[in-house]
Structure 1
Amino acid sequence: MDNRDSNGVATLTVTRSEPVRVQPAEHAGDEYYFLSNLDQNIAGIMKTVHLFAATSRSNEDVGQVLRDALAKVLVRFYPFAGSLAVGSEGKLIVKCNGHGVPFVEAAAAESGIEVLGDISIPDHEKLGMLVYVEPEAKNLLETPLLTVQVTRFKCGGFVLGLAMNHCMADGLSCVEFLHSWAETARYLPMSIVPFLDRTIQRAREPPKVEFSHPEYDELKDESNLTQLESEPTQYRSFTFDSKKLGQLKNMAMEDGSIKSCTSFMVLSALIWRSWARALNMDPRQKTKLLFAVDVRQRFGPPLPDGFFGNGIALGCCLCEAGELQNSPLSFAASLIQTTVRNMTDRYIRSAMDFFELNRSKPSLTATLIISTWTKLEFVSSDFGWGEAVQSGPAELPQKVALFLPQVKGIKSTRVVIGMPTSSMKAFQKMLEI
């Protein structure tokens, strides 16, 4: 039986071992590893947890199995064993100095994995126990590019917790790394061999900025949003099945301003508009929507299969809050549709060149970020104990909305978002259709 607090809520206690640094089983790679301008913008730690239910196979040796397989797979993914540094151009690079990947074995000896419940709604306090963060690291340059924690539960299940620097991998590359690691753990050849040369994403010489890039625009806070953001964050999950998504598409197309609309576009339009309304933004407030677009096939030529890195560019929509709040759904959906359509090879390279010249980071005032996991097969990695039963973020910043696929064969999308407590009730009301 799980430990419970005075309110009868199951509690979690995790005991960690000391971290062991895992090195590649063989020497690989050069002394320095190039990071592209698409990597520079999103350097920050992503924390994810992957839950594996109990099977007939004991979990006693899961730490050993995953650690041994990690050493082997790091031969192909050797930059993870390095550390972040600033190169001669003033940009981030990876120094392949044998720093290694901190690997922690842990145990929740008094709890079954069911104590975690539905992890799609982030519980930083509980899920944070399942991800190892190096306590001595004072800044991003001192933070490992990847840390691993394997936590065994009393029931026989286990959780794989990762803290990975986003500059190393986008969602698809992270999934492919997990798959390769899992295949290695089962003594299988890698089904996708990673392509590590990111110099194919170098800025042009000389840099050539051909388009405006509003994602970098500094917006004035006309709506006192900073005060709202200091409030406690309340998280909620909303499910949109195929029927609801169909209704939304019809709503977006009913005035004839757009002829077609994907589920991503219409759902993003609804979330952005509802978010701006719930925060009661001043009509004159400029507001941005940022979202990642997979541009692997949009480059000319396309990025190679197995490309390891960030094959995403930031799409950006910008308008006044009053126009967004008071317009039909087609307005925001049309902005998103146009942005996605314009993400051509020329536009992407212009964005990379803009960073080369300005070294800017996207401004996040009055900005909502949408992160989409609906097509990422995180749960399909099998290390020898079956596929994961749940995967999700260990934490979610307040300005991020996460789109997750619904599990168990139901075709739907779950939207997870954190809002200031005073705004969540209004936000919920606006999603009722």
Structure 2
Amino acid sequence: MEVSNQENGGLISVKSLEPIFIQPEKKPYNGTHLLSNLDRAVVAMMKTIYIYNLDGKTSSEAACDVIKQALSKVLVYYYPLAGRLKSNSDGKLFVECIDTEGVPFVEAIANFSIVELGDITVPDTPKFEKFIYEVPGVENILEMPLMTVQVTRFKCGGFALGLTMNHCVADGKAGMEFVNSWAEIARGVPLTTPPVLDNSMFMSGKRSPLDKSPTEKFNIVDISDVSNLESQYQKENTVYKSFSFDQNKLAELKKKAMEEDEGLKYCSSFTVLAALVWRARNQTLKMEPHQKSRLLFTVDIRSKLNTPLPKGFFGNGIVTSECTCTASELSENPFSFAVKMVQNAIKKVNEDYVQSYNDFFENISITIPPPSLTGTLVITSWTRIAFNSADFGWGEASQFGSVEIPKEVCLFSPAGIKETEGVMLILGLPVSAMNTFQELMNKV
């Protein structure tokens, strides 16, 4: 199989071999892995790429063999990834681990070097899709493997590790712990964080949603598109760009918010950036004053429960929280107004909130369509996940990137290797809206 396209005046191609299927080295379990209610809330594929410069330490062919053999060994611990997603009569999902095919593994060869690939921070889906393996002709997520692997060898001797992983099996933190465990086995060292596959604490609801009906409590409702937002994306191409905020810029945003509202004694980098992007995106999309605007984001609950999740918890340890107001409220109030809304949305995520959220998804079936994201900005933060940290024996990844980011999503990513280097936000907007958004970011 060969995938190619015209880039920079030359033919850039990736030639892929037929997939082989990697099974756990030994059969650790023969049954089913039940998914929790929190797992069922996020049925989507995560597609990521890691770039490794071998610098002559070994050949890319030998590296591919090491990675392949280590995958078979690490799947003994993370056996659900070798299973297949199934749905019961109630439309609830589980993972079947009995005599499944395993994880598809593809070797590929690129006719260009890593330098010619360029920066992979900002998604270029048509190009980056060459570095991941997706089963041809399969669109139903129930028919997709829970994980696929592709190792693409570059002309310069380095390689790209392309992964797809179903979010319903693990969130970003758990997924990266898997990759690090895989890398440790490749290096021949014991696992730093063995996985804990027990998710029984989220298997069934412990109480009914509190205070309000589920749709009101979690705002699981559609927003009317009174500003013709969808037509803007249809009329123009969507372009993706990244914007970096170092510690000085972040400090200025925090200072601005606290000076505007004396009640704000502390602001996190996440709250000020989320508020900034939410307001700027509304402005660039020219939302009508009475347009409802929603900010939706995930909150890691590992340390927010009365009994914290165990170290190495492999599953989804996240819930979503949101804040909603009209476009006019967002634009006419000071910056601190949006910051406080974000803060309050984070603060409400406690034990009761998580259990209510858990109970709500107890009754959700895969056959029920998710609510529309019209008028919604979704923020996913990866700033506390070291995606480039996996060392398979030849050093950490030199680059990391997401293959695609939906148009409603803004990704927060580390701006460098060290946390002190700040935060990078990456998002897509229609061309004219992006020009305005860039002007607003330049004024920050």
Q: Is 1:253 the equivalent of 2:265?
A: no
Map residues 159-178 of structure 1 onto 2, 5 A cutoff.
Answer: 159-178=160-179
Structure 2 letter corresponding to 1:416 = I
- Cα deviation, residue 47, structure 1: 0.6
Map residues 53-92 of structure 1 onto 2, 5 A cutoff.
Answer: 53-56=53-56, 57-92=58-93
Contact 2:271 / 2:339 at 8 angstroms: preserved in 1? Answer: yes
Map residues 195-274 of structure 1 onto 2, 5 A cutoff.
Answer: 195-205=196-206, 207-211=208-212, 212-230=216-234, 231-255=236-260, 256-274=262-280
Structure 2 letter corresponding to 1:50 = Y
| 2:296 partner SS | strand
Per-residue displacement from partner, 1:177-215 (whole Å, max 9, x unpaired)?
000000011111111010001122123256444454344
Contact 2:207 / 2:355 at 8 angstroms: preserved in 1? Answer: no
In the alignment, structure 2 segments of 5+ residues that lack a partner are none
Contact 2:223 / 2:292 at 8 angstroms: preserved in 1? Answer: yes
Q: Residues 9 and 330 from structure 1, CA distance in 2 versus in 1: closer, same or farther, beyond 3 angstroms?
A: farther
Q: Is 1:101 the equivalent of 2:103?
A: yes
Contact 2:5 / 2:13 at 8 angstroms: preserved in 1? Answer: no
Query: Structure 1 residues 93-102 or 169-178, which shifts more?
Result: 93-102
Map residues 311-330 of structure 1 onto 2, 5 A cutoff.
Answer: 311-330=317-336
Per-residue displacement from partner, 1:70-92 (whole Å, max 9, x unpaired)?
01100110011111111243211
- Cα deviation, residue 300, structure 1: 2.3
Query: Structure 1 residues 226-235 or 97-106, which shifts more?
Result: 226-235
Contact 2:34 / 2:94 at 8 angstroms: preserved in 1? Answer: yes
Q: Residues 309 and 148 from structure 1, CA distance in 2 versus in 1: closer, same or farther, beyond 3 angstroms?
A: same
Q: Residues 6 and 76 from structure 1, CA distance in 2 versus in 1: closer, same or farther, beyond 3 angstroms?
A: closer
- Cα deviation, residue 140, structure 1: 0.5
TM-score by length of 1: 0.95
| Matched-pair identity in % | 44
Contact 2:275 / 2:338 at 8 angstroms: preserved in 1? Answer: yes
Contact 1:216 / 1:363 at 8 angstroms: preserved in 2? Answer: no
Contact 1:215 / 1:363 at 8 angstroms: preserved in 2? Answer: no
Q: Residues 119 and 305 from structure 1, CA distance in 2 versus in 1: closer, same or farther, beyond 3 angstroms?
A: same
Q: Is 1:420 the equivalent of 2:430?
A: yes
TM-score by length of 2: 0.93
- 1:383 paired residue among 392, 396, 410: 392
Match of 2:440 in 1: 430
Q: Distance in 1 between matches of 2:31 and 2:219?
A: 33
Match of 1:35 in 2: 35
Q: Distance in 2 between matches of 1:224 and 1:136?
A: 33
In the alignment, structure 1 segments of 5+ residues that lack a partner are none
| 1:89 partner SS | coil
Query: Structure 1 residues 55-64 or 350-359, which shifts more?
Result: 350-359
- Cα deviation, residue 333, structure 1: 0.6
Q: Residues 91 and 207 from structure 1, CA distance in 2 versus in 1: closer, same or farther, beyond 3 angstroms?
A: farther
For these two proteins, the number of residue pairs brought into alignment is 429
| 1:69 partner SS | helix
Structure 1 letter corresponding to 2:225 = D
Q: Residues 7 and 105 from structure 1, CA distance in 2 versus in 1: closer, same or farther, beyond 3 angstroms?
A: closer
Contact 2:152 / 2:160 at 8 angstroms: preserved in 1? Answer: yes
Q: Distance in 2 between matches of 1:30 and 1:362?
A: 36
Taking only aligned residues, the RMSD between alpha carbons, in angstroms, comes to 1.8
- Cα deviation, residue 6, structure 1: 8.5
Q: Distance in 1 between matches of 2:376 and 2:254?
A: 24
Match of 1:128 in 2: 129
Query: Structure 1 residues 52-61 or 406-415, which shifts more?
Result: 406-415
Contact 1:130 / 1:151 at 8 angstroms: preserved in 2? Answer: yes
Contact 1:12 / 1:115 at 8 angstroms: preserved in 2? Answer: no
Q: Distance in 2 between matches of 1:407 and 1:422?
A: 29
Match of 1:153 in 2: 154
- Cα deviation, residue 297, structure 1: 1.0
| 2:60 partner SS | coil
